[in-house]
Chains A and B, each alone.
Chain A
Amino acid sequence: MTAVQSRKLIVLAAIWAVLLFAPYWMAPLGGYTALATRVLVLGLAAMSLNFLLGFTGVLSFGHAAYFGLGAYGAGLSLKYLAASTPLAVLCGVLLGGICGAILGTLIVRRRGVYFAMVTIAFGQVFYYIAFQWSSLTGGDDGLRGFSRAPIDLGFLKLDILSNANVFYYFVLFCFALAVGAMGFILRSPFGRTMIAIRENERRSRFLGIPIERHIWIAFSLSCFFMGFAGALYALVNNFADPRGLHYSQSGDFVMMAVMGGMRSFWGPLLGAFIFVVLQDYLSSITVNWMSFVGLLFVLVVLFFPRGLLGFFQRSKA
């Protein structure tokens, strides 16, 4: 084992240790378990977006739509189908992923700013649907009247509804599954091809790689992960909000990825942590928190364009 490999293993072990013990170290530092759960879910969303943005090099600015669809999928399933948490998560993943895959066929033909604009515009379609179809979605008030159901494994009953710590570990388990899948895909030949497209699209095309199909697959996969995160978010809040589909939410996700470092796998999680904690803190002390969040966007773009992890990696090199 080389020094680089063992250092990577140590970092990985440290990340998982921090996540495993989050309920125990967040509380003494003035946080609370629900905040840790939110960081985890939004971090998963930012990592799903970064799967596309950082590793395929394609900017989607409408990814909140698939996040929100995941949330509505889970919420509607809990409310109208059955009080089953796994079924709800499955419905959320499928709704977000399938809608993304279908729209993806329209979107992938474009590149660069055009791609970004088309993704924003299509993302807004779902926002308007959730907003207008109030008989089903609750409209502007959001979807209420459902709650996550305890999970019965036969030999063990997980009370994820009332015990915040158990719920955190349930979310962490889901998070680990999704992140593991993402890591596995990125290490596969397909993942390597995605990075090749990011680095030099023209050259990849000359090598005979079907670019459009690869970007479409990456886009769809990223939407499935996004739907997963969205479904978990509905479980966190017992509520689905049309603003979760809005393009300003997409902007927040892109910001988390950029702020943490979009060229690194774990960067978006760090970005989500900073973003969520900062927003939580700012909105508790001032009504003008929007200005500060906006200022944060401007400052990060001007001074930390590589994100925090990118900044540290470069200053080390």
Chain B
Amino acid sequence: MMTLLLLFNITNGLIVGAFYVLMALGLSLILNLSNVINFAHGGFLVIGGYIAYALSPYVGFWGALLLAPPLTAIIGLAVERVLIRPLYGRDPLYSLLLTFGLAFMIEDGTRFIFGPQGKPFVIPPFLAQPLSNEMFFITGYRLFMVAVVIIAIALLFLLLRYTRLGIRIRAGTLDLETVAALGINVGMLRSLNFAVGIFLAGLAGVLAAGQLGLEPTMGTGLLMPSFIAIIVGGIGSLPGTLVGGLLIGVASGVTAVFFPAASEAVIYVMMAIILLTRPRGLFGEEGMLS
């Protein structure tokens, strides 16, 4: 029984961790290249979820899953162009404050349009079934979610490794000035990078909607763990963010078995320990944004 409970919570932790990773990778991309802490990232997750909700009566679950993330990315692109671009040369304080205000507006705006009550998001029935009676907690949807997250992350790393855009993003993270001097349009690079990050947030929104239903505040709760995933993994390192997100997901899942009240606090304790022993985070490199 105990092992089953433990297994249940580790599975839960991995699934929650997968959400953290999706959020944190997007945040991390934007932070690394543009030095912007995107407080509205949770807001974009909400936008992704509600777009999927609004589209699903017409295009079904699969259509919504395909359409909502790119639509969210387009909204993100517009926001970046109009609001965030003027702030790039300034103190990071300003982009932080602006996205902070934006997060307010998105949360309140969704409440205004869709109402404060939670909305159900219907997933295909065959995904909602548990796979076996023994392992009642492993539904098809949860496996499906994890598979989607793995595919998305794999595609992201392939994009960064092999495409021209990805190589430029990585180069820009290391030394934006040189990249600009080589004749690359840095403004365009930042916009596309922002859009990729928001795409991931939109995807997380659709997946979360299927698992937990929709609420205007659903993004806020995921934001802080994503920050911690980045800090634990080490700022400037995407593999670090990946490991950090899974680590804190599993850690809070396991703690929930033994000491439920501390399941939220344990990730902060982890962060404190890591900052004490490895101030740059697990995979952080010297000189990155510090």
Listed in ascending order, the chain A residues whose CB lies under 8 Å from chain B are: 53, 59, 61, 106, 109-114, 116-118, 120-122, 124-125, 128-129, 132, 247-248, 251, 254-255, 258, 288, 290-291, 293-298, 300-302, 305
Contact = CB atoms under 8 A, between A and B. Distances in A.
Interface string B92-105: 11111110111111
A113 B94 CA distance: 11
A124 B267 CA distance: 11
A116 B92 contact: yes
Interface of A is mostly: helix
Given A112-B289, A301-B94, A302-B83, A291 B108 contact: yes
Nearest to B228: A121
Interface in B71-103: 83, 86-87, 90-98, 100-103
A261 to B, nearest CB: 13
Interface stretch (B56-64, B126-134, B180-188, B269-277): B269-277
Contacts of A305: 90, 94
Contacts of B37: 113, 116-117
A114 B91 CA distance: 13
Given A111-B290, A125-B265, A118 B231 contact: yes
Interface residues on chain B, size class: 35 or more
Contact of A294 (B95, B108, B289): B108
B31 interface: yes
A235 B271 CA distance: 34
A121 B270 CA distance: 11
12 contacts: A59-B92, A106-B276, A112-B92, A112-B290, A113-B92, A114-B231, A117-B37, A122-B271, A132-B265, A288-B111, A290-B105, A305-B90
Given A114-B289, A121-B231, A121-B271, A297 B97 contact: yes
Task: Find the residue from B37, B95, B104, B112 having the highest chain A CB count within 10 A.
Answer: B104
By Cβ-Cβ distance, the 8 closest A-B pairs, closest first, are A297-B101, A294-B104, A294-B105, A290-B108, A294-B101, A291-B108, A301-B98, A125-B268
A257 B275 CA distance: 29
A297 B262 CA distance: 34
Given A254-B97, A301-B101, A113 B31 contact: yes
B264 A132 contact: yes
With most chain B CB atoms within 10 A of its CB, the pick from A110, A113, A118, A129 is: A113
Given A297-B101, A305-B90, 6 more contacts: A61-B96, A120-B227, A121-B231, A291-B112, A297-B102, A298-B83
